[in-house]
Amino acid sequence: MTIDEFERDNKHLADQMRDCCQENMYHFDREKRSFNNVLEHTDKVVKSMHNQLFYMHENDIGKEILDISAIMHDIGKPMTAAFRTVDDTWFDSQRTMMNRLGHVQTKEELSAFLKMEIKKSIKTFYGHDMESTALADQILRVYPSEVREKSVILIHAHQHQLPPASKSRSMRRYVRRIGGIQMMDYLLALQKADCMGQNYSERIADIIDWENEFHSFPEYREYVRIGCDALAINTIQDIYSSTMKKATF
């Protein structure tokens, strides 16, 4: 699936994504000096995915799964968009985060941020991961089960906060939960592409630190050497079934 094919086959949904402006600081576009809509963000994520060496070395099925996950990870945002009233504490926390990441705001970003602060209102998309999961599962019914199930799991997990890279037991537990080493590599590729498709690409450093620690696991080296995935305890079908229960209730 390409983004053009998605737009052609799901025109109404694509139009909703195009009309859904992401009025928060993660999606301020420095080049056009305004906020990106969901479809513009999606296009950036897909391009970032294609620039990753991991993607380039994947087989056709792997590329199909990664493409679909990148294209459909935010398709539920138009249905979950809402404005939320916040106080000064929220804006202070955003400044603290930007300072930690070393993010320097442009004049245009600062102006947009101040306008939001005056309004005491931000745009949120709570639950969009669940909505995206349910929509993707319906659209992907015509695809092979492996592609549909793995894509749906990744879409559901793209917002997950990963356990600290310093806690190997928690990391292994999460890898087993997501479906094993291959699925974890897919999810890391998706999360990196998602970060690069946002304004604060500095956040990608945390994901890369996690990835480096993950790739140092003896189980990972064994997987690369002989293809044996010792962390794939649960079947993809079981994880998919569990994912759909969460997304539809």
Distance between CA atoms of residues 145 and 74, nearest Å = 21
For the whole prediction, is pTM greater than 0.75? yes
Scan for tokens 């050497």, then name that residue: 225
Bridge partners of 28? 35
Distance between CA atoms of residues 90 and 87, nearest Å = 6
Cα 88 versus chain centre, distance: 28
Instruction: Concatenate the DSSP letters of all residues of 179-207 into one string.
Output: TSHHHHHHHHHHHHHHHHTSS-GGGHHHH
Q: How much is the average pLDDT of 61-82? A: 95
Do residues 239 and 179 make contact, with C-beta atoms less than 8 angstroms apart? yes
Q: How much is the average pLDDT of 72-76? A: 97
Angle between helices 236-248 and 128-139 (to 10 degrees): 120
Q: How much is the average pLDDT of 59-87? A: 92
Residue 23 has what pLDDT? Answer: 76
Domain span including residue 235:
3-248
pLDDT exceeds cutoff 70 at 87: yes
pLDDT exceeds cutoff 80 at 119: no
Q: Is the dihedral of CA 10, 55, 221, 174 positive or negative?
A: negative
Residue 22 has what pLDDT? Answer: 82
Do residues 46 and 67 make contact, with C-beta atoms less than 8 angstroms apart? yes
pLDDT exceeds cutoff 90 at 50: yes
Number of compact structural domains in the chain: 1
Q: Which of 156, 153, 136, 149 is nearest to 13 (CA)?
A: 136
pLDDT digits over 173-202, tens only?
Answer: 999 999 999 999 999 999 999 998 887 666
Residue 83 has what pLDDT? Answer: 78
Q: How much is the average pLDDT of 218-230? A: 91
Q: How much is the average pLDDT of 137-164? A: 95
Residue 114 has what pLDDT? Answer: 64
Instruction: Concatenate the DSSP letters of all residues of 80-96 into one string.
Output: H-EEEE--HHHHHHHHH
Residue 97 has what pLDDT? Answer: 65
Confidence of residue 227 (pLDDT cuts 50, 70, 90): confident
Q: How much is the average pLDDT of 32-42? A: 86
pLDDT digits over 121-131, tens only?
Answer: 677 788 999 99
